[in-house]
Structure 1
Amino acid sequence: MTPHSDTHFYEYHYVNLSLTWTEAQRYCREKYTDLVTIESLYFSSIVDTNPPGKRTYTAINNPLTWKDAQTYCRTYHTDLAMIENAQESTEVTSVMSTQYVWIGLYREPWKWSDNSRSSFTNWQTGQPNNYGGQNCVVENLDHVWADLNCDTKLFFWCYKGETLYISHKCFSSFFSQCNNISLLGLWIYVCRTDQT
């Protein structure tokens, strides 16, 4: 299988810490792979966070800046979560315990914590507005994004693992096994893990 014709699966980790975007990115990169990457709306209904061969996301309920969250995720997981599609967005927010969480997106131009370009966006109306130099991104319970000052301390998501490529055929049958998880309203960070 070739990477361009296959799908990536990730584990999402809720990080129960309140960090700035930079702290959340650092945390996810140290403990996981990176902040969540969101690339499309296609996967918005899947919320099972631990299927085999998929990234696992861990919510960290310890408020940190985006950079500190990145360091934390990279130390204890793989990195801050990257949300690459709507499904991953739904998966991440399905276990959120606060209104906003850091994800791995930041401005330079908009790219993910692992330096990959963002091909999927889900901005809230009027966002991004870069008000006062807001260069880091949060996701809310409605799965929409806003830019925010990177030094704000919020919870975040980390992910863990390596990217696994599987064919679309395997991908379709895999997702038929996913379950629903209810949402709570707290601030969190989401880190992602690429898992083999």
Structure 2
Amino acid sequence: MFTAQCCFMDCQLYEFHYIKENKTWTEAQQYCREKHTDLATVTNMKDMERLINISAGSKDQAWIGLYYPTHGTRTWHWSLPGVEFDEREANWNPGEPTDKHGNEISENCGFLFNNFKWADGSCHHTELFLCYDGE
């Protein structure tokens, strides 16, 4: 079950899909890549406003395509190939990203809170998620 919203970005039509199924971040990414383009990339406030419009009434948090690899340096990335993460466009919830769960770094996947701010969480938790369709 999903809700779609059409949007224009750089003169190209694209859609966000709010998928109301609980999946881990990796399962959500696989689902989005099989049925759409990828997990949602939220790169500006217009994207955020569109996400607010499609998930209006929902009180759940949802995975977006934000992650950092567990190996190497702690640098955030977007799941969609070719889209660079820009810290200036970040919309973190106050106190986020926390990165840690106990003594281990394990919160390396991003989700959208119901206040439409970002947070990091364990990729193994299950959440609803947002997919993206586009070129």
In structure 2, give the amino acid aligned to 1:129.
T
Counterpart contact for 1:110–1:117, Cα < 8 Å: no
Partner of residue 130 from structure 1, selected from 91, 95, 99? 99
Hey, what does 2:90 align to over in structure 1?
A: 121
The count of residues paired between Structure 1 and Structure 2 equals 118
Query: What's the offset of the Cα at 1:99?
Result: 2.5
Structure 2: give runs of 5+ residues left out of the alignment. Answer: 70-74
Q: Do structure 1's residue 157 and structure 2's residue 116 form an aligned pair?
A: no
In structure 1, give the amino acid aligned to 2:17.
T
Change (3 A) 1:113 1:51: closer
CA RMSD of aligned residues (A): 2.0
Structure 1's consecutive aligned runs of 4 or more residues displaced over 6 angstroms after TM superposition are none
SS of the equivalent of 1:69 reads helix
Query: What's the offset of the Cα at 1:92?
Result: 1.1
| Percent of residue pairs identical | 32
Query: What's the offset of the Cα at 1:15?
Result: 4.5
Query: What is the distance in 2 between the residues matched to 1:159 and 1:49?
Result: 10
Structure 1: give runs of 5+ residues left out of the alignment. Answer: 1-13, 17-47, 163-196
TM-score under structure 2 length normalisation: 0.78
Hey, what does 2:45 align to over in structure 1?
A: 86
TM-score under structure 1 length normalisation: 0.55
SS of the equivalent of 2:33 reads helix
Change (3 A) 1:118 1:64: same
Hey, what does 2:72 align to over in structure 1?
A: none
Partner of residue 103 from structure 1, selected from 52, 64, 69? 64
